[in-house]
Every structure is written in C-alpha cells, then in structure tokens.
Amino acid sequence: MRSISQLREALLNVFLQESASYDEQELFDELMVQKPRLLALLHVGSRNSEEQKEIESGVLFCLLYYSVFPKSSTQERQS
C-alpha cells in the first residue's frame, strides 16, 4: 500500500493547482488506494441512542455554533 503522503501530495497538487500532473481520475484512484486508511482514521465507533438523538435534533450543531460564536460577538455583528 502506498504512503498517505502520496495522497497529501495529490490533494495539494489538485487544490493548489501548482501542477497539472494530477487530474480528477488520478485523484480518485489515489483516494481509492488510500480508502482503507482513511476509513480507519475516521472511524469513531457506533453512536449510542442519546448521541443519535442529539445529532438528529441539531443540539450538537447549536453547541458548536455558540462555542465558536458566543452571543456577545453575534450581537456585535448584527449592530
């Protein structure tokens, strides 16, 4: 299996457009090669029922939003 650094290089080349050496198909192929590593990296286990309810209700989004944009700074932007 190829190194994950090759995926990083492919992504940088595509997104920064520094090199025309990677096209969409090559990026897709590299993603498919790295898929097992990416899945292992992003796997966080199954959710319990309480977490699932929070996700579906949007509670987690609201908590994240207000931790990033506290009410005081939100009110300042509206003024």
Give the model confidence (pLDDT) of 8-45 as tens digits: 887 877 777 755 565 778 888 888 998 998 888 888 77
Instruction: Say if 18 falls within a structural domain.
Output: yes
Rounded Cα distance between 67 and 73, Å, is 11
Q: Which pTM does this prediction carry?
A: 0.46
- Give a yes or no: residue 78 inside a domain: no
What is the domain count for the chain?
1
In this prediction, residue 57 has a pLDDT band, given cuts at 50, 70 and 90, of confident
Kindly state whether residue 76 falls inside one of the protein's structural domains: no
Residue 74: inside a domain, yes or no? no
Q: Report the b/e string of 4-38 with b at 16+ CB within 10 A.
A: eeebeebeebbeeeeeeebeeeebeebeeebeeee
Single out the residue of 11, 36, 31, 35 nearest to residue 21, CA to CA: 11
**Amino acid letter, 33:** V
Residue 54 — very low, low, confident or very high, per pLDDT cuts 50/70/90? confident
In a domain, 53, yes or no: yes
- Domain membership of residue 17 (yes or no) is yes
